[in-house]
Amino acid sequence: DDNWHKNYNTVRNEISKYSEKVSSKKEIIVFTKVDLLHENLKEKKIKINQKLNSEILFISSFNNEGINDLIDYLFKYKEITND
C-alpha cells in the first residue's frame, strides 16, 4: 500500500487515544502476506526504517516465511522485559 505511512500514523494515534501505557511500549511492526510482494524485502525494510525506528519483521503464513523469526523475537523480548 502506497499509503502505509499514513495508515501507520492513524493506528499509532488510535493506540495513543486508547492508552498511554500501551502506546509507550516497544513497537514491533510485522508485515504479513509477504509472499505476495514483488519487491526485495531487504530494500523494503530499508525504506521503512528510513521513516520509522521500530523492529520490522516480514512473515507469510502461506509459506511459513519469517514465522520462526517472529516467534524467536517474541520469546527473547519476553525474557528480557518480562512484559
> Are the beta carbons of 15 and 23 closer than 8 angstroms?
yes
What is the spatial distance between Cα 16 and Cα 24, in angstroms, rounded to a whole number? 8
Instruction: Kindly list the averaged pLDDT for each block of 10 residues, start to end, along the chain of length 83.
Output: 86 93 88 83 82 87 93 82 65
What is the spatial distance between Cα 54 and Cα 44, in angstroms, rounded to a whole number? 14
Q: What is the pTM of this model?
A: 0.73
Q: What's the pLDDT score for residue 68?
A: 95
Q: What's the pLDDT score for residue 83?
A: 60
Q: What's the pLDDT score for residue 79?
A: 66
Q: What's the pLDDT score for residue 77?
A: 77
What is the spatial distance between Cα 64 and Cα 43, in angstroms, rounded to a whole number? 20
Element (H, E) at 42: helix 41-51
Q: What's the pLDDT score for residue 14?
A: 95
